[in-house]
Structure 1
Amino acid sequence: MNKMDVIVVGAGPTGLFLASELALRGVPVTVLERLEEPDPTIKSGSINVASAEILDRRGLLPAAEEVQRRRLAEAGTFTGGRSNRTVRELTDAAGRASRRFPVLGHFAGIMFRHDLVDQDDPVLAAHTAVANGILVPQHDLELLLGEHCAKLGVEIRRGVEVRGLRSTGSGLDDDADVVVETDAGDFAAGWVVAADGGRSVIRKRLGVDFAGTGPEMVGYQAIADFEDASELRRGWNWTPRGIYTYGPVPGRVLVARFAPRPEDKDAPVTLEELQSAVRDVTGIPVTITRLRGRATRWSDNARQASTYRRGRVFLAGDAAHVHSPFSAQGLNLGLGDAVNLGWKLAATIQGHAPAGLLDTYHSERHPIGAWVLDWTRAQVALMRGDERTAQLRKVVGDELFAVPGATDRMVALSSGILQRYDVADDTTAPVGSIAGDVDLKSGTRLADHAHDGLFVLVDRSADGRYADAVGGREERIVHVSDPDASQPSLFVRPDGIIAWADASADQARKLLDIAIQRWVG
């Protein structure tokens, strides 16, 4: 039995991106996936801004933009809630990327109105470069990341079902290697990452507690042919029986109702079951004539692993947290896990990680996961069909969201750009936040210098005074000289988090050295 450096279980977006991050830094990695081919089942219809920026930092934004162009051609005009607009407004007349913040989401089915968003808000204005790369459905994202992995030499073994794992030492908590047990034989590895979904075999084998709250609703998503869908309203719509959306792709329907899930949760969704749910929630006697592909069934079951690490085994994506899929939060949360863990694990394997680096994966990502679970629970609470909830929705939608700045804040939260980590003793903004768009005087952007997954030091000093801080770490830190007295110098981690800024001029160099030692080693 040959030993592998890293085994990633699961070839969804989380597993594929994590594998690519390891391969980017020269770490051999093998992905084991149960399915023979990428799953074409309709799932998330887009990614958020924070996820698009992850792709941007690895040079994948052009591919995402191509997917969005194709999607816009399919979607045409999209009408949502009380606001009519066309998603083609995301691009200008010449088809170039709009430097406006994309406003396409919702909270509990209450559409964000683009006319209430202040595009000059400094938080939103710092994250506009990826506006043309967010309409990327999960299936297209998996294909995109699969191609990325292939270029990096990642080995993906499909049709392999993982059944368990064991340690080569006294237990899975120790520092011994791990053996992954599959129907195709056993595979030994120095490290294992479980990205095998909400029913993770690996998590169950580890015995990690998966506490949370049970489901209140059952939802369905499909692309279907309707005899007459003219009465179905496009965009997100609330009714006393639940919530639904129709479009923007012709025939795409998502419906969620407050009802128990079927006893057999794994049974395929039939045309009759989907039609019954659509009729119940919408109150419209539609007739579905055909399902195009497989319909999915889901719930708002919200649970989180008590720890994201057990010895040499990590949990990521849905294996670490599950919740309702509104706004594709699970997909985006998983990509955040992957970009956080990838460089840390690679540095550890290659022997230059500072002490305790791997422990920061749990300490940074677990609070973010807990926040997302609460964010989705709050939305479900605001979707209930009773009269008091209806009144509350009216107050939230008509009054609170109309307050200047309120919609800006909600849009920023749902887009993932307000996530922060405790990365330094210096908590001065923007330290700990996502870098976003950083335009340089050379005509390039920060993201252009992050394609290799390295740390980036943007040195805005006139005399290049921070260059020597990189000394001996040139293979791990990219030094970018960009003299500009109006902007702060920045030290940015491979996951796009700002670990240092020279806002405190009197201690700037000392704090930079501390940040480099803490994160680079």
Structure 2
Amino acid sequence: MERTEVIVAGAGPTGLFLAGELALRGVAVTVLDRLAEPDPTIKAGSVNVASAELLDRRGLLPAAEAAQRRFLASVGKFGPTVEAAKRGGRRFLAAGHFAGFLFDNDLIDQSDPVLAAHRAVSNGLGVPQQEVERILGEHCATLGVDLRRGVEVQGVRATDESVTVETSAGEFTAGWLVAADGGRSVIRKRLGIEFDGTDPEMTGYQAIADFEDASGLRPGWTWTPRGVYAYGPVPGRIFLSRFRQPPEDRDAPVSVEELQEAVRDVTGVPVAITGIQGRATRFTDNARQARHYRHGRVFLAGDAAHVHSPLGGQGLNLGLGDAANLGWKLAATVQGWAPAGLLDTYETERRPIGAAVLDWTRAQVALLRGDERTEQLRTIVGGELLRVPAAMNRIVALSSGILQHYDVADDATAPVGSIAGDVELTSGTRLADHAHDGRFVLIDRSPDSRFTVSGLDDRLAYVADPADEPSLLVRPDGVIVWASSGCDDQKLLDAALARWAGAK
């Protein structure tokens, strides 16, 4: 039996980011994954702004920007998202769509202060999931994370003091376990945690296919009465959803014949598919959420805690948000300085976010139904409402994850509880530059550096930055938990530190 401080089951983006957060704070962590090699299956094609900011705060934005440059070099002209990204600059960009309505960056009002505070990462959004996993894998390797591949989790035993994971390679024991082992989580099932939600109405596919002639397929997102499809931007890439139940054997590989029949049905184009590059994926709009994210010393994160349709590209981002929220809190607990009840805030903060994302995807499914009334509704939503810049701003802000808000203080006012975004300092640095080691960041903007903090150097970075702006205390996950207002500032700062950063 091998022992470590924390075991993470699953080496997808959620598990890897979480492992990095723990290792960054000196916690011994072992990651177990059933696959012998990283999964090459085509999945998410980009990250949203909130996720790119998580990478930025850990010094990984340059790697994301390099990945985006490689991605853009591999595709041709493909709608406003790619074209806007190629133009570069520090504008707020949105990658994605809502129910097949592609976000139009030319309609975004760049003067909107909400968006303007989150545009530093605009050149690091076009990062496919495989690249995200590669970047995070290298990050974990640098931090000394113990990654064990080809190890299948088979069971779990938990006590009040420890957790033992039964695997194909023997037993591993730790003080804590995080299940990031996917929507069919073995750990969640073994613990009997209810997975509530709605059954699927549609079945989707994603693949890079070899077409004899794809000229009849329209690039971008196209709705038809039988479903929706997207062709490109990578040559041969096809993504589609149609209102049909999945086959009885959902684990069976997607054959060329099955994919070709689905593409022909949804697109109405008699394409011929001669092969599939790698492996195609099959998915549904099954939307479920764990009734609890915590079971004693075991936590659920990512798809183990929630599953939903990939429409709108929220799954990868939701999992990274879980990892960022839980990582520092679990590290604080292992190291012994966590305030009372800190671990419980993982569920109270992240479960409502997960529920909102499930509803976000259900709304998109409702807008994809193939009846006449839905078609009329789509004409109004896509042809009228989403052509208004204010509406476009709002929907891309929601999709980008920058409007997430947490209840972190009594009677708090903006910006407390919100995501910090891109905070530029008078020194020429940014907030993210001071957050690479995973500590809290206190930006003291008072003219005389009046805010005092002592005894917290191991968990807090103090930055003096005199300016005519509020001072800020930012958690390791980027959430603002205190902002100066001119009234009882030191007292309220001390209270925020005690609540989130522990005793001195």
Q: Which TM-score bucket, shorter chain as reference?
A: over 0.9
Identify the residue that residue 448 of structure 1 maps to in structure 2. 433
Equivalent residue letter for 1:409: R
CA distance in 1, matches of 2:274, 2:182: 32
Residues 1:321 and 1:6: Cα distance change in structure 2 (over 3 Å): same
CA distance in 2, matches of 1:289, 1:471: 67
Instruction: Give, in angstroms, the shift of residue 404 of structure 1.
Output: 4.2
Conservation of the 8 A alpha-carbon contact between 1:77 and 1:86: no
Alignment of 1:218-237 (within 5 A): 218-237=203-222
Identify the residue that residue 398 of structure 1 maps to in structure 2. 383
Alignment of 1:88-487 (within 5 A): 88-92=83-87, 98-167=89-158, 169=159, 175-466=160-451, 468=452, 470-485=453-468, 487=469
CA distance in 2, matches of 1:90, 1:108: 21
1:177-231 alpha-carbon deviations (Å, 9 max, x no partner):
1110011111111100000000000000111110100000000000011111111
CA distance in 1, matches of 2:297, 2:210: 48
Conservation of the 8 A alpha-carbon contact between 1:90 and 1:132: yes
Conservation of the 8 A alpha-carbon contact between 1:219 and 1:297: yes
3-state SS of 1:378 partner? helix
Identify the residue that residue 62 of structure 1 maps to in structure 2. 62
CA distance in 1, matches of 2:2, 2:273: 52
Q: Does 1:492 align with 2:477?
A: no
3-state SS of 2:279 partner? coil
Conservation of the 8 A alpha-carbon contact between 2:95 and 2:125: no
Instruction: Give, in angstroms, the shift of residue 308 of structure 1.
Output: 0.4
Instruction: Give, in angstroms, the shift of residue 117 of structure 1.
Output: 1.4
1:434-454 alpha-carbon deviations (Å, 9 max, x no partner):
000001110000000000000
Instruction: Give, in angstroms, the shift of residue 328 of structure 1.
Output: 2.0
Instruction: Give, in angstroms, the shift of residue 252 of structure 1.
Output: 0.5
CA distance in 2, matches of 1:5, 1:28: 5
CA distance in 1, matches of 2:336, 2:273: 58
CA distance in 2, matches of 1:3, 1:254: 43
TM-score of the aligned structures, taking structure 2 as reference length:
0.98
Q: Does 1:517 align with 2:498?
A: yes
Instruction: Give, in angstroms, the shift of residue 425 of structure 1.
Output: 1.1
3-state SS of 2:204 partner? strand
CA distance in 1, matches of 2:199, 2:151: 31
Instruction: Give, in angstroms, the shift of residue 113 of structure 1.
Output: 2.0
1:379-437 alpha-carbon deviations (Å, 9 max, x no partner):
00000000000000011112222334111000100011100000011421110000000
Conservation of the 8 A alpha-carbon contact between 2:195 and 2:290: yes
Q: Does 1:87 align with 2:70?
A: no
Q: Percent same amino acid among aligned pairs?
A: 71
Equivalent residue letter for 1:379: Q
CA distance in 1, matches of 2:455, 2:411: 25
1:146-178 alpha-carbon deviations (Å, 9 max, x no partner):
1000000000000000001012x4xxxxx2211
3-state SS of 2:274 partner? strand
How many residues are paired up? 502
Conservation of the 8 A alpha-carbon contact between 2:213 and 2:271: yes
CA distance in 1, matches of 2:74, 2:173: 45
Instruction: Give, in angstroms, the shift of residue 36 of structure 1.
Output: 0.2
Identify the residue that residue 26 of structure 1 maps to in structure 2. 26
CA distance in 2, matches of 1:45, 1:7: 28
CA distance in 2, matches of 1:86, 1:35: 33
CA distance in 2, matches of 1:327, 1:382: 12
Identify the residue that residue 36 of structure 1 maps to in structure 2. 36
CA distance in 2, matches of 1:119, 1:233: 30
1:485-514 alpha-carbon deviations (Å, 9 max, x no partner):
2x1111000000000111x21122211111
Q: Does 1:48 align with 2:79?
A: no
Conservation of the 8 A alpha-carbon contact between 1:228 and 1:287: yes
Equivalent residue letter for 1:90: A
CA distance in 1, matches of 2:463, 2:209: 51
Q: Does 1:15 align with 2:15?
A: yes
Instruction: Give, in angstroms, the shift of residue 104 of structure 1.
Output: 2.9
Can you give the 5+ residue segments of structure 1 that lack an aligned partner in the other structure?
80-84, 170-174
Instruction: Give, in angstroms, the shift of residue 25 of structure 1.
Output: 0.1
Conservation of the 8 A alpha-carbon contact between 1:164 and 1:201: yes
Equivalent residue letter for 2:201: E
Conservation of the 8 A alpha-carbon contact between 2:84 and 2:93: no
Residues 1:91 and 1:439: Cα distance change in structure 2 (over 3 Å): farther
Instruction: Give, in angstroms, the shift of residue 91 of structure 1.
Output: 4.6
Equivalent residue letter for 1:240: P
TM-score of the aligned structures, taking structure 1 as reference length:
0.95
Conservation of the 8 A alpha-carbon contact between 2:49 and 2:118: yes
Identify the residue that residue 172 of structure 1 maps to in structure 2. none
3-state SS of 1:480 partner? strand
3-state SS of 2:176 partner? strand
Instruction: Give, in angstroms, the shift of residue 65 of structure 1.
Output: 0.4
CA distance in 1, matches of 2:211, 2:309: 26
1:242-296 alpha-carbon deviations (Å, 9 max, x no partner):
0000011111000110001001000000001000000000000011111111000
CA distance in 2, matches of 1:152, 1:227: 47
3-state SS of 2:350 partner? helix
Conservation of the 8 A alpha-carbon contact between 2:48 and 2:94: no
CA distance in 1, matches of 2:49, 2:456: 31
Conservation of the 8 A alpha-carbon contact between 1:72 and 1:88: no
Identify the residue that residue 488 of structure 2 maps to in structure 1. 507
Conservation of the 8 A alpha-carbon contact between 1:76 and 1:86: no
3-state SS of 1:405 partner? helix
User: After the TM superposition, which of the residue ranges 381-390 and 97-106 deviates more from structure 2?
Assistant: 97-106
